[in-house]
Amino acid sequence: MGEIKVVQSDITKARVDAIVNAANTTLMGGGGVDGAIHRATGPGLYIACRRFNGCPTGEARITSGFNLPAQYIIHTPGPIWHGGDGVERQLLANSYRNSLLLAEEYDCRTVAFPSISTGVYAFPLNIAAPIALTTIRDFLNTAKVVREVTMVCFDTQTLAAYRQAL
């Protein structure tokens, strides 16, 4: 069984095997975590992401970490919140699970996640945090490689929501 940690920090500084980027479906950079990661890596990430021709919501793609402390960046577009009547919850769980499957495939023992979809995509934190942590915990129960997952929270509100859900 692996370990889940919750911290407040800058994900671009995380010293882990892979960080997860809360990307948009184009993978070409944007605001929030996505913009910060693209700015921190320089133009190489844009070039690497262009070859994927995008990524559907809930799926994941992997690139090198370029000049970040992490060896890899796993990119996953989370769902946009439309009131919760649709498939947003399942798509959010898929983003976490598919990111972890790629981490496992690329022999990543340590993975750092941001809070996917809770920024400009408006997914309510009190709903997203339990989905994220349940999905991660379920994955760690059967993981062969991934041993430590850190939720890297951008602000105190996000940190509090994840600590409560943990």
Distance (Å, rounded) from C-alpha 53 to C-alpha 136? 27
Active site residue 138: no
DSSP readout, 34-67?
Answer: HHHHHHHH-HHHHHHHHTTT---TT--EEEE-TT
What is the reported pLDDT for 165?
95
Chain-centre distance for alpha carbon 50: 19
User: Token digits for 153?
Assistant: 């929270």
What is the reported pLDDT for 31?
86
Q: What is the pLDDT of residues 115-131, one digit of tens each?
A: 999 999 999 999 999 99
Residue 48 Cα distances to 39, 100, 114, 116, 163, angstroms: 14, 20, 21, 21, 34
Average pLDDT over residues 91-98: 98
Of the given ranges (8-17, 27-36, 98-107), which has the lowest mean pLDDT? 27-36
pTM: 0.97
Average pLDDT over residues 58-77: 97
Average pLDDT over residues 38-47: 93
pLDDT at 1 exceeding the cut of 80: no
% of the chain beyond a pLDDT of 70: 100
SS3 category, 29: coil
Q: Where residue 86 falls among pLDDT bands split at 50, 70, 90?
A: confident
Average pLDDT over residues 42-71: 96
Mean pLDDT, the chain, whole residue set: 96
DSSP readout, 133-154?
Answer: HHHHHHHHTT-SS--EEEEEES
Options 10, 34, 85, 155, the catalytic residue: 34
What is the reported pLDDT for 41?
94
Distance (Å, rounded) from C-alpha 9 to C-alpha 139? 24
Among 141, 32, 166, smallest CA distance to 151 is for 166
